[in-house]
Amino acid sequence: MAGGGGRPRCPPGALLSVAAVVVAVGWVRAEQKEEQSIDLIGKNEVYGDTRHKVNVYVKVFTNSPFLVCMDLALSQERIIDPNYLWTGPDGRDLQGQNYVNLTETGKLMLMGFMVSMSGAYTCTLSHKVIETTTQEEIEMVEAYKFMVYAYREADHAYQVSVRFSTTGCRLTNNGLFIEVLKKILNSSISHLTCHITESSYKCHSVRTPKNGLQYELFVNFLVNPFAPGWEEVCQEISYDCEDETNRRVRQAAERIGKFFHQLKHVLKYEFQAVPTIQYVDNSFSMTPIDSCQPGFGKNHYTHQNCASCCVVCGPGTYSPNHEVICRTCARPHARSLDMRRKENQVSETKERGSNRLQSSAFRRINSGYGSLLE
């Protein structure tokens, strides 16, 4: 599977430890027939299906649910002399591998799941069926395929929009006000290793029914969880850091929201140098922005039961930066066709140009000879 490293982008905290189980089982339950109502979530198990592959999503650095080498219906029957053979994405036998937990009943758990472990896991179940009357033994072989994907929680940030009234758009104090505001906000969230980025503002004239024409500053900025020092915080954590950074940026966003709700009081005491600028009531809004780490992306169609997850990019796709989707790789064959097409166009252009030069030269020669003949 394609993947990537790096860093700089959820279920609630109580659910994080079982996210992979719920996601995986949720997919399988959607595939089961309605009459099969066994509660699979409590069992932490995902059953196979001979008709199609079963998608399973495992959060990085966690253990997968148990992948069961049979379908749900067969699990309710007696099986004679069962034999299980599990193979990984590289086609090798998984028996004896240190990152798997294989039970004698054919269940597979992948331990400490890594991005490189993503791929197709296949179990071949062979067992006997004995005819009641003749006691004839018939060997049955069935294969179950699981597509196991590594996923991460999306990295969260928050886009903030807010407006302020001012006495004019060309005032020097407008820029000063934004800089002071940014410093105050940064100081209030720096202990969370979060900071304000991508700040900008524009001044517009606005006509209102009550106040007539007035001027307003439209301010936008991003509450970002990756302020200097976040790497040191993550080094203290034995698991992946995104849960911690998401928790911190959520706290930072809450602090900023509280700040703007109290801004009338803050402006009165903090911004005495620029009293002409006032907060526009109820203009504060905050929008969560998700991004995925390189090598991961969201796909609501391919991964419907893990739509909010940043799933490892599959073969033929990639994500070089912190986008939300995996891009499709350009096909070398298509590129070569394009190159040949362009080369042909260039060749044709040169040929036409050469023909035009030859015709022009021919006309000049004819003209010269014509003058000599006169």
Average pLDDT score over residue span 142-170 = 94
Dihedral sign from CA coordinates of 202, 203, 205, 211: positive
107 vs 367: CA distance, rounded Å: 92
- In whole angstroms, how far apart are CA 179 and each of 88, 169, 172, 221? 55, 16, 11, 12
The pLDDT value recorded for residue 212 is 81
362 vs 258: CA distance, rounded Å: 84
2-6, 32-36, 274-278, 313-317: range with lowest mean pLDDT: 32-36
Tokens 């599977």 -> residue: 1
Q: Estimate the crossing angle of helix 242-261 against helix 172-189, to 10 degrees.
A: 130
For residue 137, pLDDT over 80 is answered with yes
Whether 225 contacts 193, CB under 8 Å: yes
Q: What percent of the chain has pLDDT over 70?
A: 73
pLDDT level of residue 243 (50, 70, 90 thresholds) = confident
261 vs 258: CA distance, rounded Å: 5
Q: Which residues contact 142 (CB under 8 A, 6 or more apart)?
A: 50, 70, 74, 124, 125, 126
String of DSSP letters for 114-147: -GGG-EEEEEEEEEEEE-TTT--EEEEEEEEEEE
**Which helix H or strand E contains 165, and what residues bound it?**
strand 155-166
For residue 322, pLDDT over 90 is answered with no
Average pLDDT score over residue span 153-177 = 92
Query: What is the average pLDDT value for the chain, to the nearest integer?
Result: 78
Average pLDDT score over residue span 347-372 = 42
Q: Looking at the DSSP assignment, which residues form a beta bridge with residue 160?
A: 221, 286
Q: Read off the tokens for 157.
A: 């940030």
Quickly count: other Cβ atoms within 10 Å of residue 79's Cβ: 15
H helix count then E strand count, the chain: 6, 17
Average pLDDT score over residue span 333-362 = 47
pLDDT level of residue 275 (50, 70, 90 thresholds) = low
196-200, 289-293, 330-334: range with lowest mean pLDDT: 330-334
> Running DSSP on this structure, what letter comes out for residue 66?
E
Residue 8, judged by CB atoms within 10 A of its CB (0-12, 13-18, 19+), counts as middle
Residues 280-292 have pLDDT tens digits of 888 999 999 999 9
- Angle, alpha carbons 318-325-112 (nearest 5°): 70
> Running DSSP on this structure, what letter comes out for residue 303?
T
The pLDDT value recorded for residue 141 is 95
Q: Which residues contact 163 (CB under 8 A, 6 or more apart)?
A: 216, 217, 218, 219, 279, 280, 283
The pLDDT value recorded for residue 368 is 37
Go through 35-51 and write b for each residue having 16 or more CB atoms within 10 A of its CB, e for each that does not: eeeeebeeebbbbbbee
Average pLDDT score over residue span 79-105 = 94
For residue 192, pLDDT over 60 is answered with yes
pLDDT level of residue 187 (50, 70, 90 thresholds) = very high
The pLDDT value recorded for residue 247 is 92
